[in-house]
Structure 1
Amino acid sequence: MILLRLTGRSIANRWATALLTVLALAVSIALFLGVERVRTGARTSFGSTISGTDLIVGARSGGVQLMLYSVFRIGNATNNMTWESYRDIAGQPEVAWTVPLSLGDSHRGFRVLGTTEAYFEHYRFRGGQKLTMRAGEPFSDLFDATLGADVAETLGYKVGDPIVVAHGLGAIGFTRHEDMPFRVSGILEKTGTPVDRTVHVSLAAIEAIHVDWQSGARIPGQSTGADAVRQMDLTPKSITAALVGVTSKLKTFKLQRFINEYPEEPLLAVLPGVALQELWSLIGVAETALAGVSAMVVLTAVIGMMAAILSSLAERRREMAILRSVGAGPGTIALLTVLEAALLSLAGAVAGTALFLTGLAVAGPLADQAFGLYLPFTLPTAREAAILGIFVLAGIVAGLFPALRAYRISLADGMTIRQ
């Protein structure tokens, strides 16, 4: 207890240097904890883009590619699956529900997704949350469109506004379906997933706007009016992919094997969790690099603390001489130096945690709103607490070198014969 009091008074005598040292340590540990929380938050947000879906089915390609274009709206399918195959799979006894997906069109840079009402009923994200409406209702008419939150916010749409879908992808659609405009029927609440950047229409609507099209181009001289299209059979000939839920988790692999060996056409069924894990492993290098950079920042701060303690030893020779004169040995002087490093490290860890939690409280909701990055405001997790413990331990270890230096200085001064 006496040693702690002596260490505290020694630090108080050099409060400006100590304060700057603690501040440097706090900023570095807050940065490291922030990177760790962003890393885990990104992984969680990434993995919670889709939940409750047992299989994703599409034309045979790669599992990651199928996940990218069907869930994240990135890239395009190499091929479509026929409607007959989709209906056959949907009719299997293991299947509880299905959601067909049709991609290929866009609206001012945002993807257009053709689907059915089952999409709003069965699509889940972030641990089982359902899609909810901010305004209006999901599409019900042939030319209704339901917008994701980012689409409505970026383009300034509200319920009742007309929109025109363009053929193909790109921010500027040169081939637009102007003869069959849509009406905004509803706007979804923000989800922090690709749903926010999607324009949702019915499968029948996708067929309707392509009545006068063949092989990706408009048929010259042919123009069918919207009223005439409503009287047609708009059953799709093919779809891009499908989300599938099974009646029992035990039947998932049986259904997956049936689809992967489907005799009518080459299809692929992937488990979302497996595909997400494979996808994350591909981009995990950047995550590791970021964690490495923040670790170097912490290491630099610890080395800075060690340098600050070393530089103060020359100023503290008088202090050490007084302690020696009252009976303190060189080992006690060294122990005081180690205790100083421990107290500074502990103060830096506490201040860094407080700074981290303050930043999390302010930036967490903003990150969720702007980027869909879920950063929950919670006390440090077990992993983060372990990081703090390692940081304090590293500070103590870093204090051993100044302690050894103080031991030698104190020993030399104690052996000097003063006249």
Structure 2
Amino acid sequence: MHHYSRMRRRYENCTVIKGNLEITGLQSPDLDLNFLQNIEEITGYLLIGLNYVKIIPLDKLRIIRGRELYRNKYALIITLNYNKQDPNLGIQYLRLQKLTEIVRGDILVQDNLKLCHTDTVDWIDIMNKASRKSDNWTAEVSGNAQPGSCPPCPPSCNGYCWENSPPFCQTRTSTICSESCNGTRCRGPSQNDCCDKECAVGCTGPRSDQCVVSISNITNLYKNNFCFQVCLHVNDSGSCELQCPPKHIYDSAAYEYDPNPNFRYTYQDQCVDECPENLLIEQSGCVKSCSEGFRDDDNGMCVPCTQCDGIGLQGGLLANEGTVNARNFIHFKGCERVNGNIVFQSYVFRGDVYSSLPGLTVEQLTEAFKSVREITGYLFITSWPRELRDFSVFQNLEQIGGGNLWRGIAGLLIQDSISPIGPYYLSHVSQRV
């Protein structure tokens, strides 16, 4: 019951699942699952497995986007929902009568011995036609209840249903469409019934603002419930579009880009005028954290990291160098992301009289590396200034990526007695010895 209670607290009154929904291990047949009835959208995958309840009431679920797939393959998995000891226990009906769009991913409905009407659902109709053709998504349905053991579909369902009652007829919006629809969804078989190409689920008319409407409460953006179209990509004030209005638009007469007065940020599947306060702005989108190559400027913006070449990087400015030294240290000044390796050989700090190379000073060292946040290769230190016995020079270093490991084994190698103090923000080293 703890598992059930936790699931109920998590999903009650939820309309959009940002991620995956896994309904598993509900082995008491009398559990009340009506708390699932408000879910309309899942951005990841839906897994239903090892349950003994009779019905899964996802009555309002319209779309599974498949942005994350189970085992990198499946968007919908329904399997092993029966009791081996008691053959009378197991899922008998899927109340998915509103589900008309799986954007990407395979379907697997297998080994549900009590589950009826798996043969009266047009699974291919649910799958996005363009995505299915380009990525070869398939539907595998086998090992479920025998058709003869289940009641037939009502006559009004024309042979397609989720349950033997008229409210549970399957609504088909793809396989019934005219060829003139060119793979879009439709509301009927006529060539005048085609939906706009950006509509997911279905439509009430041919325009991009006539896609099927869903009701949701997005509390982070709006104070009240609002109507919004169910779109394949983004919703821009009630119209389904491929992308939100860009920051700049091209002026063909002046041969230049001008600021777009209608620019809007992309937040999840919506176009918004401002990003929520808890998110950062990266280019034209609202993000939780900056992507690789960008950093938070402490003002809510992700800005490009200043990059430089590491020691010995093939094709780089320091390709022929074997160590940081007093002549090349300036190359790293202001650098935030080092592409390659950082190496300090033993003679660097005392200098080399044979090549007239002066010693690298602590001031030069600090000036060069105080801004570095990431080293994509390895950090190799064979000696360190005697007056500086810690890592505080790398005061902002957060990550040593280990894309190129020292002798294939180490991302961080220190051959000197240095205090563990600093770098203060280092949170990841690929491998170390």
Both structures adopt the same fold (TM-score exceeding 0.5): no
Structure with bigger RCO (C-alpha 8 Å, 6+ apart): 1
Q: TM-score range by the shorter chain?
A: under 0.3
Larger of the two Rg values belongs to structure: 1
More helix by share: 1
Normalised by the length of structure 2, the TM-score is 0.22
More strand by share: 2
Normalised by the length of structure 1, the TM-score is 0.22
